[in-house]
Amino acid sequence: MSLTEGLISGGWLWASALCAVLALLLALRYAPWGVLIRERRLQHLLFGATVALMSMWTLRAGLSPGLSIHFLGMTTLTLMFGLDLAIISGTLAMLGMTLIGQESWDTFSINILCSVVVPALTSLGVLRLVEARLPHNFFVYLFLCAFFGAGISTAVAGLVMGVLLWADGVYSWTRIYLEYVRLLPLIMFPEGLLNGIIMTAMMVFHPDWIRTFDARLYIDEQ
């Protein structure tokens, strides 16, 4: 979900900038820099994921004027790298999108908030809930954290974007609901399917790439 220039007023831009900067500073503070500097494979994996995210974000569809929708992919990044590196990678991808003119500098902070921070936090919340409430099972992790988590993160990010547009008076809630909110279930399924397919492939062939997946816990002890 992303916005174009001039759609949101200054007050909301400042508030979103504060939230985005705070989230980025916390991510920078808690990121495993020692491991990242030491492990060249992790550096290449993070860089490749960031470039892949940028490429995926270029595929988008327009809804209401000034508002576009695209695959998020943040659930995969959060499960792969953890919340901290996922936010850093997503921010770098959004910066790249802005530098090449696909996004607006004016709404940079809101785009980070709705396309990076909110879906990453939601994906982490689903993961923590599954870990606390359900057995450690390969298929539980795959279907709930990857498939379901990606769909829920898209819905939450979309609702946050819709509420921002409504609160700022850009569109009426009726228009937001008819042209955007009620379409979210149609967006959730392909988002979940895309993230689920990617995570399935990595869990089978490269489980060591997934920071939140312990093969000994989810497979060996079954």
3-class SS of residue 4: coil
For residue 90, the number of C-alpha atoms closer than 13 Å in the C-beta half-sphere is 35
Q: What is the mean pLDDT of residues 161-177?
A: 83
Q: What is the pLDDT of residues 103-153, one digit of tens each?
A: 778 888 888 998 999 999 999 999 999 988 888 888 889 899 999 999 999
H/E stretch holding 3 reads strand 2-3
Q: Predicted confidence band at 5 (pLDDT cuts at 50, 70, 90)?
A: low
| pLDDT number for residue 13 | 80
| pLDDT number for residue 1 | 58
| pLDDT number for residue 125 | 95
Mean pLDDT lowest among 145-154, 185-194, 206-215:
206-215
Mean residue pLDDT of the chain comes to 86
Structural domains in the chain plus CATH codes: 2-220 (1.10.1760.20)
Any idea how long the chain is? 222
Look at the block and give the residue holding tokens 């939450």: 156
H/E stretch holding 70 reads strand 67-70
Q: What is the pLDDT of residues 44-72, one digit of tens each?
A: 999 999 999 998 888 766 666 556 677 88
Q: What is the pTM of this model?
A: 0.89
